[in-house]
Structures are given as structure tokens and as C-alpha cells.
Structure 1
Amino acid sequence: MAAPTIMILDPADTVAVVLSDMAVGETREGITAGADIPRGHKVARVDIAQGAPILKYGQLMAVASAPIKAGDHVHSHNCALPEGSHAHSAIAARLPQAPSRQTFMGYARPDGRVGTRNFIGIMASVNCSSTVCDAIAAEANRLLLPKYPGIDGFAPIVHDQGCGMSNKGEGFDALVRTLKGYRDHPNFGGVLIVGLGCEVNQLTLYQPSDWTRERFHTFNIQEVGGSRSAVRRAVELLEPIAAAASKDVRTEQPVSKLTLGMQCGGSDGFSGITANPALGVASDMLVAAGGTSILSETPEIFGAEHLLIARAAPETGAKIEAMIDWWRDYAEKNGASLDNNPSPGNKKGGLTTILEKSLGAVAKGGMAPLSGAYAYSEKIDTNGFVYMDSPGYDPVAATGQVAAGANLIAFTTGRGSCFGAKPAPSIKLASNSDLARSMPEDIDIDCGVVVEEGTSLSEMGQHIYDLLLDTASGQKTASEEFGYGDNEFVPWKIGAVL
């Protein structure tokens, strides 16, 4: 079969997606192009009057800012955001049958959670100790890792917060919650937290959980003689932790112990029709097997939140609505608009409005019922498909998901995002085959075959699901092979810097 050259996502759509460059005068599926239209962009299927709705995925993605003729290129030059409320089509929740594969090989922790990796975390409580934590991790990886091959390495968790801020309020609470989530993460077989000593974010806030007490230490640089002394002291404390963690072994564990954080970055016109819905299929399979998947990035569900609310209990739906309201107010206070999205790269790839981008982004969540809605980095305490509030900035969103308990990340991209998320392995899904061919060192799965070869979304989803379980069992991802993850811990910075 010849590869399709145009895609209509829903019979009600007034636009179609061009799958390869379409020249002016060329006819496909009865549509004759009135201009050159790049691949991944949209062509009008019918005449659309100025002010009339433009539909994609069977949903409202924009209104026409000028008259549009059938065959016209539909993009930023003739699209605008609708004003006021508009009717939406909600879709009922459903789940597939549970997949046959329902176990993976992981590290069982005494608190009942299961790790997919066995790192030792070197955490900074404050920006002032970040350089020392980097030095500690480097020295421990040089001196200790060769002696204790049963661990995956010493991971520096460093950041630019912890002082110059109020010790109460949203910003401080989010930082403490995030650091505690990493302190207790099952992908850490041990943790050392290092402070300076005089900062707002004091080490006394981070007492160890009972099971980690023998593999947990803290100290302040000011109390051990300075920076070089801190590195020497850290290596002394880390050796017995490494010796103990190196004895941890993988055992067969149920998929219910997996928590998947789902991200998309550098999206394009194919993201919402290949990688994102294919990941949605895998997410549904994970949930059907008893696992948990997390959707985030609230500014990037704006305009598509109704698709989540329709699949949620009333109290969960109300939480989603409250998050959207908070973001409207937050953007307005900072002189911004939620339609600052899509980015220039998104638009070059064919995305026109935040509504269109959001409709494609929500596809990562599949069709499962929405079981809960959580604050940024709040511990996920239920299985199933859940939502966690976060910015659309990928490192911040992924940091919150890992703090909330994600022991695995799946990241879709159309333009070519580079990313890792220690201690959680991150698989990268390309929305188009050109990207997979041009950046093979960073891509784990080419979802572009949905378009280029006619691979079904269900088949693609099965492939992703299998790779998730293989990765959870120890198979390294492309980002892990390169070494990503040391610089991608970025807690959400909310509030004033004082």
C-alpha cells in the first residue's frame, strides 16, 4: 500500500493534515491546494467564513480570522482564538482489556514501592551547595562506582533555589515537596543531602523515612571545614551506602508498581496524530494492567480540559477547572497569555493555536477514566490515569512528576527535544520518521511509521508498552546512554525572589 498523503482525523473536521509537502494546484482526496502547504500543516476541506469555527479532531481548534476557501493553507495568518465559550464534544472514558504482559524486573523497596533504577542521590538543599554536590557525585562516580557495580551511579540533584525566598507560601512549599519526593524516590538506593548551613531551606526539614535511615545522611558545608572537606566527608559517608545498595537485586514485580510520567516537547503537526495518541494507547494498557500514568503541563491542556473533565468524578473535574482558573490569573498577573503557546518551533511544525496543541497533547492520556488531580510534585496516592498540575516547560513538569513518584518517563517530540530525568529513565518517541532518521542517537521509537507505513496506533501503542516494561527492567534508553539527567532537575519557581 502506498503511504497516505493527507489525513482527516474526524469526519466533522473542516481541515485535513498534509502528510508530505503539497504544491499549489496539487489535488489530494478531492482537495486542490491553493498555495504551497508544508508537511504537518493543515489544508481547508471546505469554505470557512470569517468568524466560523475551525474543527480538528472533531473539536474546536480556532475560528477563521479571514475568509478561508477550500484548499487554502490554514495557519496563523487566517486563524484566531475564539472569544467566550463554545460547545465542545466530550468523549466517554473506556479502557482496553488488560495486556498479557503484566510484570517487570524492579528493585523492591521496604516501603512497598519499586524502583526501575538503583541510583544514589546527591541532593543539594540550596543553590549554594550545588557546585559541591556536583563535585561529590563526580568523585564518587570516579572512586566508588567501580567498586560497587550493583548501583547505576551517583546522581547530582542540584538547583538554583533554597535561599533568597520566603520560608512559607506556594513557592517554598513546592520546593520542599519536590525535594522530599526525590529523597523518598524508589529509584534511589540511598541519599545524601548537602546544605550550606545558613539558608532558608534548612536540612532539619528533611528527616529520613524509616527504611532509608541506614542509607541516608545530611550535613552542611559550613560545619565540615569547607568545600574540599565536604567532598572528602561525603565520600566517606557514601561508601557504606554504596556497599549496601550494590547488593540490591531486581525481582519480578507487578505493573501496578510502575508510575509513568508523560511529557511532550518540541511538538509538531504530527505529534497529535502519531506519537501522542500512540503513547495514549500505551498509557491505557498500563492503567488496565494496574499501573499509573501522569499527564501534566496545564497551559498545554488549556482548551482541551473538557476532554479530561468528562472522564473524571465531579470533585476531580472541579480540581482541573480550578487549576485552569489559577493559570489564567497567573498569566494575567505576569502580563502573559496562555496563547503564548505554541512556540515558534511548534508553529513551524504546523501547530497554530494553543487549542490545537492542547487537543494533541491530551491524546497522551488515552481514554482511561481520570482517577485523580494533584498539585505540583504532590505524592500520587492512587493507581490509574491521573493529572498533576505543572507548567508546560518540560524540565519543570518532569521534575514534578518524578517527585510525585514517576519511576519512568515517556517523552514525545516532533522537532527533536533532548532530555533525561535522573533517577527516572526517559524514553523518547519521535512523531515523524524524518526526526528519527536525523537524530537516531536521541530517539528510542519512531512513531512516524503510523503515517509512513500505515502502522496502526494500537500496534504502535503495544510497541511503546513493551519498551516501557523493558526499560523499567533495566534496558538503557538513548538519553541514558548519552548521560542526560544531571542538569534536568528544575523545581517550579513560584513567587518572589527576595
Structure 2
Amino acid sequence: MKETTMATPPFIRLHPADDVLIARAQLLSGTSVDGIPIKGLVPPGHKIATRAIAAGEPVRRYNQIIGFASRAITPGEHVHTHNLNMGTDKGDFSRDYAFGADVKAAAPRQEATFMGIKRADGRVATRNYIGILSSVNCSATVARAIAAHFSRQTNPAALADYPNIDGVVALTHGTGCGMDGEGLGLQLLERTLAGYATHANFGAVLVIGLGCEVNQTSAWLARSSLREGDTLRSYNIQDAGGTRQSVEKGIALITDMLASANHVRREPCSASHITIGLQCGGSDGYSGISANPALGAAVDLLVAHGGTAILSETPEVYGAEHLLTRRAVQPAIAEKLIARIKWWEHYTEINGGEMNNNPSPGNKAGGLTTILEKSLGAVAKGGTTNLEGVYEYAEPVTAHGFVFMDTPGYDPVSATGQVAGGANVICFTTGRGSAYGCAPSPSLKLATNSALWQRQEEDMDINCGEIIDGSSSVQEMGQRIFELVLATASGSQSKSERHGYGQNEFVPWQVGAVM
């Protein structure tokens, strides 16, 4: 660990060619920063111009274009939404995709272990839940009532004899009907539910439908090549006799599953069985400097140990996708990523939006100005190793190493797709302070700054703000995150688990008309 010293400058310079510095703390007008007099008040995490920038000129951070000056900017001036935008001419900003240009030899294989749960089919779990899935919103109340019966908080006796079961969770959603029976929306929902029904972190699953919905359970099971058995059961409320009888039936079915689901033990397993879903939410100007690159360093370590990391949130890599295509091990992988970017450009356009609708108001308050700037920081979560695959939403991730999954930027929807694809741990960076969990996979929160850590320590699992403070390096923090991932995968509870997060954050991606 590095010692914090009084010599720590009040700014961060990310690259010698950058046009901006980043404030470590609030800077007052007249203060001299790197020999530049500050003009006006600059909040922490925000940008300061290092030179005179003419209107229309590109502005660089990370030695990459983050936007164009909307008016002339003087040295020492605050650079943000009032004088920086995406540019009006689409020809202003071009990206060199350079497929595979940065592919490199794999790091020497390492062999860390964690205490995992081996399933009979060879998969390895980090948790052991029983899940209740609703096929449609109409069965959500019944699903929740069944799960409530087994709550350790309100009915501790229900699971008292089953210490190896982490809990019974109801994962419900707001769709499943009023949709095209052959459309993309139903396909995404079926794929998501199938990913959860077969997730290693579930020892058993109960699926509950209403009976008349578009998302018919029997049809979904058949299309997903799933069959009922001891660990997968289903029924419809209409066939069971209504709400009360459906709840009673569900309680009886779960009770029958408890003994078998409890019959597990943790044992040493290779870290190659860990798949991390990478998330960032409530980002700020420090996200791309501290927590995201530190998580990227942890990803590089995990990949060296044979594990897998899934970067997602396609609208939040927009403008930085060229940094990923350069790492693609095959041209087809890079081409698939670009195809998903183009799909999003079309999708936002036909819905009356644009890709720069992101960053959110909270992101902007934290110092992020354009989606280009946000994306450049977001891709840092993916580390530096080769891009081994690109997957559509909720597709099973079969490759090992660093991969990409196409998802929206909205965190619950994105992480739901990652877990459906096989993620058994989520690592979630945040600068503004996000409240989130993700049953059945534990979610770790990484604070980007120490002010957030001090304010919301009960929700944060690790403080990457030490990088900003000068008391830790990115690599040191990456090692700590990697060790925390191993401990969490071994059964140590994350703070979001202690708070009971996870059931309400199951949000499958909804696309298409609601009819």
C-alpha cells in the first residue's frame, strides 16, 4: 500500500495528451492547478481545461475523444455540459476498429481455488438457493407468498433444519403476456427464464404460471429443451384451484425439495468455475479512474486463473467499442459487436431517442458529460485480455476468458441477462451510491471514491477511492477485489445479501409493443 502524502496533487492527469485534468476535491476560483488558474467553482470528479480549446475542437480524456467544444473554452475553465457536447456532424468522430490489432498471448495459467458447490452434472455453484419463477406477472403474488413462507426473517422454523440452503427466493417480473407470441420480446423472456431455471446457484426451481398467458409454461419448457423432474416443477394457478390452493401447493412442493437441496457441501474448486458479471451504476467522474480499472485488473487475474468475465451494457460502451474490437480474437467476434452497436443505433432512433440520452442526471452531477466519456471509463472494467466472444442477451456463455453480452445499460436488466448467461458473481462499481443485489448470484459493490464509502459503507463492499486518495494503486486494489471475489464465491455474504437485496432486482429485458 502507498502512503498518502501532502504532496498528492489536487488533480489527476490521465494522459500527457489530455485536454483536461480531473479534480480530486472541490476547486475554488483563483486556485492554481498545475500552473493553471482555476476560473469558477469546479466540483470533485469534474474536468478542468488545460489549454485554450476553440469551438468545434475535439476534447480528449484518456487520450481519446470525449466530445467537442460547443463554444470556446479557456485554460482553467470547468469543462462540462455547458461547453462540451457530442458534435453535430457525424463525420466529426470516427473510430478505427482495427480488428484484432491488440490481441496478445495469454498470461501463464494460474490455479487459485475457492470453496464451491459441485453439482451432479459438473457445474459449480457459489450459492445454493431454491428459486420460484413466475411465467407471467399474474402469478407473481402467488410466487412471493410461497417464498415468504420460507423466509428466515419471518418464519425461521421453515428452514431451521436446512442450513445448507441459502434461501427460497421468488423472481417475478412485469411481463409474460400482452406480447407477440412469436416476437423477440417473448424469445428474450424465454431465454432469460431458461437461464435461471438451469442456473448452478439453484438447487431446485419451481415455475408458476396463471394458465392463459402468452408465455405458456409447457411451450417455454419444450422450446428450452427443459423437462420437469425432482429439481424442476411447474403448475398453473387456474389448474390448481386459485390463489390459496396455489400457495398451499407451492409450499408443499418446495417442502418436498428441501432435503435434497440441502444435501450439498462446499469443497475446493478451481477459480475457472467463476463467472463474473461486470456492472457499473450511478457512475461519476472517478469511475473510469479508480473502481473500473481496478475491477479490470481483477478481471485480468481471474482470466489468468481460467475464469470468465462478462462486460455488458451496450449503450455504455458506445464510442469505446473500438477498444474492444481491437482485442477480438476473431474478426467475426468484432463484427458481431459492431452489429449490436448498429442495432442499438436503429433501436433508439425508432423509439425517438439517441445514444447520448445516457449519461443520466446523476452521472452528469458526478462529472460525466457525454456517453463517449462514460463509455471510455466503463470499458475499463473489462481489463486488458483478449475478447473471446460476443453474446446476445441471456445467451449461455460458453467461452472462458473475457466476453461481451449485449444488454441495455439499465443495471437490473443488464445483470439479469448476465446471470441468465451463467454469471455466478456480480461486481458492481458505483460512484454516486447504488442499491442493488442479484439473487441467486451475490453482488459486490465497489465504491469509486472515499466520500461515498464514508457515507454509505453499509452498502459498499470495498473502497476503491483509496486509488484517488493516493493510498493504493490500481493493481493493488485489483488484487484485493480478486481475493474478495474468491471469498464471496466461497460463501462469505456480500453487503447487499445481508440487506436482503436480490428478489426485486430480477428484471428481464422487455422489447416490442405491449398489446
**Same fold by TM-score, threshold 0.5 exceeded?**
yes
Letter in 1 for 2:76: G
Letter in 2 for 1:161: T
**For the Cα contact (< 8 Å) 2:109–2:306, is it kept in 1?**
no
For 1:92, the equivalent position in structure 2 comes to 102
**For the Cα contact (< 8 Å) 1:262–1:293, is it kept in 2?**
yes
Q: Which moved more, 1:139-148 or 1:186-195?
A: 139-148
SS in 2 for 1:468: helix
1:77-116 correspondence to structure 2 within 5 Å:
77-82=82-87, 83-85=89-91, 86-88=93-95, 92-94=102-104, 97=107, 102-116=112-126
For 1:153, the equivalent position in structure 2 comes to 167
For 2:201, the equivalent position in structure 1 comes to 187
Which whole-Å CA distance do the structure 2 matches of 1:250 and 1:488 have between them? 27
Deviations 1:346-401 (A, max 9, x none): 11100000000000001101111100000000110111100000110000000000
- How many Å apart are 1:163 and its aligned residue? 1.0
- How many Å apart are 1:272 and its aligned residue? 0.5
For 2:419, the equivalent position in structure 1 comes to 402
Letter in 1 for 2:294: A
1:372 aligns with 2:389: yes
Which whole-Å CA distance do the structure 2 matches of 1:213 and 1:427 have between them? 33
Letter in 2 for 1:492: W
Which whole-Å CA distance do the structure 2 matches of 1:443 and 1:211 have between them? 40
Cα 1:24–1:101 shift into 2, 3 Å:
farther
Letter in 2 for 1:206: L
For 1:273, the equivalent position in structure 2 comes to 289
**For the Cα contact (< 8 Å) 1:60–1:88, is it kept in 2?**
no
**Which of the numbers 307, 314, 317 marks the counterpart of 1:291?**
307
Letter in 2 for 1:285: L
Cα 1:258–1:158 shift into 2, 3 Å:
same
Deviations 1:207-235 (A, max 9, x none): 69789832221111111121111111112
**Which of the numbers 179, 187, 192 marks the counterpart of 1:173?**
187
Which whole-Å CA distance do the structure 2 matches of 1:176 and 1:287 have between them? 30
**Which of the numbers 319, 322, 325 marks the counterpart of 1:309?**
325
Cα 1:112–1:123 shift into 2, 3 Å:
same
- How many Å apart are 1:144 and its aligned residue? 2.9
For 1:259, the equivalent position in structure 2 comes to 275
- How many Å apart are 1:97 and its aligned residue? 4.5
Deviations 1:135-169 (A, max 9, x none): 00011333531221210000101001111111112
Cα 1:440–1:101 shift into 2, 3 Å:
farther
- How many Å apart are 1:112 and its aligned residue? 2.1
Fraction of identical pairs, as percent: 51
SS in 2 for 1:402: helix
**Which of the numbers 126, 134, 137 marks the counterpart of 1:127?**
137
Q: Which runs of 5 or more structure 1 residues have no equivalent in the other structure?
A: none
Deviations 1:237-267 (A, max 9, x none): 1122111111111111111111100000000
Which whole-Å CA distance do the structure 2 matches of 1:29 and 1:358 have between them? 27
SS in 2 for 1:462: helix
Q: Which runs of 5 or more structure 2 residues have no equivalent in the other structure?
A: none
SS in 2 for 1:342: coil
Letter in 2 for 1:466: E
Which whole-Å CA distance do the structure 2 matches of 1:404 and 1:377 have between them? 5
SS in 2 for 1:66: coil
1:468 aligns with 2:485: yes
**Which of the numbers 14, 22, 26 marks the counterpart of 2:27?**
22
Displacement over 6 Å in runs of 4+: 208-212
Which whole-Å CA distance do the structure 2 matches of 1:81 and 1:185 have between them? 41
How many residue pairs match? The answer is: 498
Cα 1:69–1:96 shift into 2, 3 Å:
farther
1:490 aligns with 2:490: no
Deviations 1:41-96 (A, max 9, x none): 00011111111110000100011111111111111111010332435577834578
SS in 1 for 2:468: helix
1:49-64 correspondence to structure 2 within 5 Å:
49-64=54-69
Q: Which moved more, 1:209-218 or 1:293-302?
A: 209-218
SS in 1 for 2:208: strand
- How many Å apart are 1:294 and its aligned residue? 0.3
**For the Cα contact (< 8 Å) 2:110–2:306, is it kept in 1?**
no
Which whole-Å CA distance do the structure 1 matches of 2:12 and 2:489 have between them? 34
For 1:435, the equivalent position in structure 2 comes to 452
1:437-456 correspondence to structure 2 within 5 Å:
437-456=454-473
For 2:217, the equivalent position in structure 1 comes to 203
**For the Cα contact (< 8 Å) 1:110–1:211, is it kept in 2?**
no
SS in 2 for 1:154: strand
**For the Cα contact (< 8 Å) 2:228–2:234, is it kept in 1?**
no
**For the Cα contact (< 8 Å) 1:410–1:429, is it kept in 2?**
yes
Which whole-Å CA distance do the structure 2 matches of 1:261 and 1:176 have between them? 20
Cα 1:72–1:394 shift into 2, 3 Å:
same
Which whole-Å CA distance do the structure 1 matches of 2:256 and 2:9 have between them? 59
Which whole-Å CA distance do the structure 1 matches of 2:392 and 2:196 have between them? 16
Which whole-Å CA distance do the structure 1 matches of 2:268 and 2:29 have between them? 57
Which whole-Å CA distance do the structure 2 matches of 1:150 and 1:495 have between them? 41
